Amino acid sequence: MKASPYLYIAPFFVLFALIGLFPLVYTFVVSLNDWDILSGAGEWIGFDNYVAELNDPYFWNSLFNTMSIFLLSAIPQLVAAVFIAALLDQNLRAKTFWRMSILIPYIVTPVAVAIIFSSAFGEKYGLINNILTSFNIDPVLWKSEVFPSHFAIATMVNWRWTGYNALILLAAMQAVPRDIYESASLDGAGPVRRFFSMTLPSIRPTMIFVIITATIGGLQIFTEPKLFNPTSANLGGAHREYQTTVLYLWDMAFNRGDFGKASAIAWLLFLIIVGIGLLNFMISRKIASTEVKVISKRRAKKLARYRAIAAASPAATNPTGAPAVSVVDEEKSS
């Protein structure tokens, strides 16, 4: 029965159509209307909402905040995750203990993380400012200045996600064959050299996966800034210092009640994420194709050598013999 495989995968696609595709299309329809949350659909106004948003300084402000928090969290987070993974990849005692420990922040709910950190980052009574003042350092306005607030929110993200990413990268590192390391160290490569020349290139596909998921997550950041100053009437700081795009969207929909513009923001954000995703994809494909090029060049050389040998001594030729195997070997290890 040829239908059965399609039936097996149907639940996903039916669910996706219902809770993924339909809202996507409906949001687009809403974004073309002057649509108030309470009074409902108004006039059809085409792309006016998009034009209005692209001219709205608060929209650009939210994009800037999102990108800034994203960069402040993604870069240190990935560097730290790679470093931690490399440490855990060593021969440690009580391996599982260490590995599980770095995952603990991940199982704490983001809401709890946000509450704890927002208290620690309090401006007047917060733990961190208390410590700073006790060292005679001026307290930092964590919740009302742009860079400190971004730093504080990025800290929450890093705290939660570094361990998770480190575990994924660790899994990739574990998959690298150990004997290569052995032969490399026999050839005199030190641990640093082995890390940069062997470990990093081998985990590249996983790195790309981690970067893409971090990008999507980073561009959709909501909980941390929403709860960073939960008592503030304004979302994302009095002057929108850390109002990310999703927060801005929420504010537009539920505080200002303009569903049309909120939907337009949602679609703009969607397009931006798709755009960045494509960029990531292209970069990763380019990396992959460079690898293929290197491989095919080597293979061509090998083949040429093999043919030369074969031509020189036709009697010894064995099409499935050792030379062919060595070509395959060469490909595997390159």
The residues, ordered by sequence, that sit 6+ positions from 286 with a Cβ below 8 Å of its Cβ are none
How long, in residues, is the chain? 334
Cβ-based nearer residue to another protein, 116 or 303: 116
**Can you read off the two tokens belonging to residue 24?**
């996507």
Minimum CB separation of residue 239 from another protein in Å reads: 5
Out of 122, 148, 217, 323, the only residue in the binding site for another protein (CB under 8 A) is 122
Taking the C-alpha atoms of residue 232 and residue 230, their distance in angstroms, rounded to an integer, is 6
**Residue 10 beta carbon to another protein: minimum distance, rounded to whole angstroms:** 25
DSSP string, 137-193: PPPP-TTTSHHHHHHHHHHHHHHHHHHHHHHHHHHHHHTS-HHHHHHHHHTT--HHH
The three-class DSSP label of residue 296 is helix
- Answer yes or no whether residue 115 interacts with another protein by CB under 8 A: yes
Give the contact letters, 53-72, x = binds to another protein (CB under 8 A), - = no.
Answer: ---xxx--------------
C-alpha distances out from residue 221 to 55, 227, 246, 295, Å? 23, 11, 7, 40
User: Does 256 interact with another protein (rule: CB under 8 A)?
Assistant: yes
Nearest to another protein of 78, 261 (CB atom): 261
The residues in 210-239 that bind another protein, with binding defined as CB under 8 A, are 222-223, 226-227, 229-234, 238-239
Rounded Cα–Cα distance for residues 132 and 134 (Å)? 5
User: What x/- string results for residues 128 through 157 when contact with another protein is judged by CB under 8 A?
Assistant: ---------------xx-------------
306 near another protein, judged by CB under 8 A = no
- Give me the residues that bind another protein (CB under 8 A), please: 37-40, 52, 56-58, 109, 111, 114-115, 118-119, 122-125, 143-144, 222-223, 226-227, 229-234, 238-239, 254-257, 259
